[in-house]
């Protein structure tokens, strides 16, 4: 079956085909006809399954019919938990609706200047994509008229509740027409999510394509055991130097760690930038644009990036820090293997992480296969476990390769790893890279083509650039939502700076971004 058989107009079908899609995914096959019939929907489906099109295409179809109420303001409202997801949905609206006469989409999110948003809201539009906090601000200022609203969509509803948006959502819904259609998309459908469903929806049709515990059969999941922080840093460097890594997202626990790790990897010649909640929206958008255009190889991110980033060229997801919530693991690794492609997810874990590791395995209902890097084998193992290369039910036992292909099957000839473990969380002392031919830490591998000389880029790194804590009144009137500003490692470098490598290629050109002034105690971590 193709999209033309789902009841969509030829203009929408053509736009979908132009985007490279011809066959609907299972969630689209189930949700689109039901939404076109005017039913309230509750939909649960795995990451990367095509949920955005599942709710956007029937909403665009509604826009082909003249509204019954003549007024300004949106006919379709989409609420998302993060700015990145809002941008993704807005772009999808523009792409799928490009052949429609009245299908203008605007976004209202935190980090954007109010004057810019005010101008967008003063012009005619049909689709409004927003994060709850900033939408509340605009509603309180009287700039949005919901008189003709026909469809409300809650995307990643479970995440919005986790982030503390429940009061905002209920306040928003109270201002919407009672006869609207509501489409509710969530990874989980129990607890607080179930209670909200009961309040917001009328006799909904329930669609569950796959559970949150989906195995992600197209994603190979691996575990690397680290003895300490120094060992973990060398493992990460070794992984990123493999030529099989096309693009990677590396997840850290805190924003401070993301900045520190970005600096560390940049000093080693990697094409790298950070993405987290302390960055203004202009910087976040620029970073993601660099990633999509292929001008950036490695993105260091907090969980703000775990949802809403759809970049098909992400070949690897690396959990530098394991997530505190097991469900976040599923969303993190879902950043690779998009659109039916394959991907690799690698988790780095120390013995102290055993509780988090077990929680992830219970949640996903599958063990993580243990792997090693030649020359960087761990001295320690996970406690109270049979983890070992070749263990039962684990297609593991393989070591990472020596630069050819993805990761090869060549096994190391000797155990242990050489070199000092390092002192701080991110060892920034000059040292030989993992890929040096005469390195005592492993077999000599050619340096990655992504690696370049960093000396020229690091000199004068913070000169002549604006501090990302620059004056931006009203851009972040944030409320607490997520404890990502806390760190378990008080000795991490306190500099909070974000770097963006630009230029014509990976690892080359000049490094641009924001300044590196100390940031003490400031946390802007709520998407509005």
pLDDT tier at 306, thresholds 50, 70, 90:
low
Tokens describing residue 380: 């320690």
Q: Is the pLDDT of residue 13 over 90?
A: yes
208 pLDDT higher than 80: yes
**Burial letters for 138-175: b for 16+ Cβ neighbours within 10 Å, e otherwise?**
bbeeebbebebbbbbbbbbbbbbbbbebeebbeebbee
pLDDT for the residue numbered 45: 80
**Summary mean pLDDT of the chain:** 76
Q: What is the pLDDT of residue 236?
A: 96
pTM of the model: 0.56
* R_g of the chain computed on alpha carbons: 24
SS3 120: helix
pLDDT in tens, 52-94: 999 999 999 999 998 888 888 999 999 999 888 898 899 999 9
> Residue 417's beta-bridge partner residues?
376
Residue 322 CA, chain-centre distance (Å), reads 15
- pLDDT given for residue 410 in this prediction: 34
Distance spanning both ends of the chain, measured CA to CA: 39
Mean pLDDT of 193-210: 88
The CATH code of the domain at 3-208 is 3.40.50.300
DSSP code, position 155: T
pLDDT(486) > 50:
no
Q: Which of 376, 372, 371 is nearest to 440 (CA)?
A: 376
Chain region(s) in the chain for CATH 3.40.50.300: 3-208, 219-403+415-450+469-513
Higher pLDDT, residue 517 or 86: 86
pLDDT > 90: percent of the chain? 45
Instruction: Give residue 303's pLDDT.
Output: 85
The pLDDT assigned to 503 comes to 37
Banded pLDDT at 462 (limits 50, 70, 90): very low
- Can you tell me the distance from the alpha carbon of 329 to that of 345, in angstroms, rounded to the nearest whole number? 10
| DSSP element (H, E) containing 96 | helix 83-96
d(CA 135, CA 228): 44
Q: In the CATH scheme, what is the homologous superfamily, with its name and number, of domain 219-403+415-450+469-513?
A: P-loop containing nucleotide triphosphate hydrolases (3.40.50.300)
pLDDT for position 435: 35
pLDDT at 293 over 80: yes
Torsion of CA 270, 440, 374, 378, to 10 degrees: -100
Residue 506: per-residue pLDDT: 35
Q: Is the pLDDT of residue 493 over 70?
A: no
Provide the pLDDT for residue 239: 95
- 258, pLDDT greater than 60: yes
Task: Collect all residues with Cβ–Cβ distance below 8 Å to 185 and sequence separation of at least 6.
Answer: 43, 44, 45, 51, 54, 55, 153, 154, 155, 156, 157
**DSSP β-bridge partners for residue 273:** 299
87 vs 437 pLDDT, higher one: 87
One-character DSSP codes across 358-399 = HHHHHHHTSPPEEEB-TTB--S---TTS---TT-TT----PB
Q: What is the pLDDT of residue 526?
A: 42
User: Rounded to 5 degrees, what angle do the CA atoms 223, 224, 229 make?
Assistant: 135
Tell me what pLDDT residue 424 has. 52
Taking residues 34-56, report their average pLDDT. 89
| Residue 448 pLDDT level (bands cut at 50, 70, 90) | very low
Residues 202-211, mean pLDDT to the nearest whole number: 83
Residue that has been written with the tokens 């329930």 in this structure = 206
- 380-433 pLDDT, tens per residue? 888 755 444 433 334 344 444 433 333 333 333 333 333 333 445 554 443 333
Q: Which residue has the higher pLDDT, 233 or 465?
A: 233
Task: Note the pLDDT tens digit of each residue in 148-186.
Answer: 999 999 998 988 988 889 999 999 999 999 999 999 998
The pLDDT of residue 384: 58
């Amino acid at each position: 079956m193709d999209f033309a058989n789902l009841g969509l107009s030829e203009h929408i079908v053509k736009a979908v085909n132009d985007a490279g899609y011809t066959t609907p995914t299972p969630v689209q096959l189930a949700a689109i006809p039901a939404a076109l019939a005017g039913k309230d929907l509750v939909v649960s489906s795995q990451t990367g399954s095509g949920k955005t099109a599942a709710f956007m295409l029937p909403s665009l179809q509604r826009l082909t019919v003249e509204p019954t109420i003549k007024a300004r303001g949106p006919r379709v409202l989409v609420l998302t938990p993060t700015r990145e997801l809002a941008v993704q949905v807005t772009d999808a609206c523009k792409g799928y609706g490009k052949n429609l006469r009245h299908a203008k989409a605007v976004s209202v999110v935190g980090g954007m200047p109010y004057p810019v948003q005010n101008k967008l809201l003063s012009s005619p539009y049909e689709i409004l994509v927003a994060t709850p906090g900033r939408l509340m601000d605009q509603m309180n200022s009287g700039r949005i008229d919901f008189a003709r609203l026909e469809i409300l969509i809650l995307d990643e509803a479970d995440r919005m509740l986790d982030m503390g948006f429940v009061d905002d959502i209920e306040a928003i819904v109270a201002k919407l027409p009672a006869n609207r259609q509501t489409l509710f998309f969530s990874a989980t459908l129990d607890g607080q999510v179930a209670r909200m469903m009961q309040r917001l929806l009328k006799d909904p049709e329930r669609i569950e394509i796959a559970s949150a515990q989906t195995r992600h059969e197209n994603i190979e999941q691996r575990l690397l055991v680290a003895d300490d922080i120094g060992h973990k840093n060398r493992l990460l460097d070794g992984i990123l130097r493999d030529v099989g890594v096309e693009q990677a997202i590396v997840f850290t626990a805190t924003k401070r760690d993301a900045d520190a790790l970005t600096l560390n990897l940049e000093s080693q010649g990697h094409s790298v930038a950070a993405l987290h909640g302390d960055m203004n929206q202009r910087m976040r958008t620029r970073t993601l644009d660099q990633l999509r255009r292929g001008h950036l190889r490695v993105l260091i991110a907090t969980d703000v990036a775990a949802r809403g980033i759809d970049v098909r060229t992400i070949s690897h997801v690396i959990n530098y820090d394991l997530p505190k919530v097991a469900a976040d693991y599923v969303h993190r690794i879902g950043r690779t293997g998009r659109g039916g492609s394959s991907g690799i997810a690698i988790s780095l874990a120390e013995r102290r992480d055993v509780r988090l590791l077990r929680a992830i395995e219970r949640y996903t209902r599958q063990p993580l296969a243990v792997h090693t890097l030649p020359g960087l084998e761990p001295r320690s193992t996970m406690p109270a476990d049979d983890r070992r290369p070749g263990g039962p039910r684990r297609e593991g036992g393989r070591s990472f390769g020596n630069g050819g292909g993805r990761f090869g099957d060549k096994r190391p000839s000797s155990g242990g790893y050489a070199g000092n473990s390092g002192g701080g969380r991110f060892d920034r002392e000059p040292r030989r890279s993992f890929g040096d031919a005469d390195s005592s830490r492993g077999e000599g591998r050619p340096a990655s083509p992504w690696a370049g000389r960093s000396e020229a880029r690091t000199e004068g790194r913070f000169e002549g650039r604006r501090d990302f804590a620059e004056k931006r009144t009203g851009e972040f009137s944030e409320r607490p939502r997520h404890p990502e500003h806390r760190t378990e490692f008080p000795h991490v470098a306190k500099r909070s700076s974000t770097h963006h490598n630009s230029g014509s290629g990976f690892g080359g050109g000049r490094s641009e971004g924001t300044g590196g002034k100390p940031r003490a105690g400031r946390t802007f971590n709520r998407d509005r």
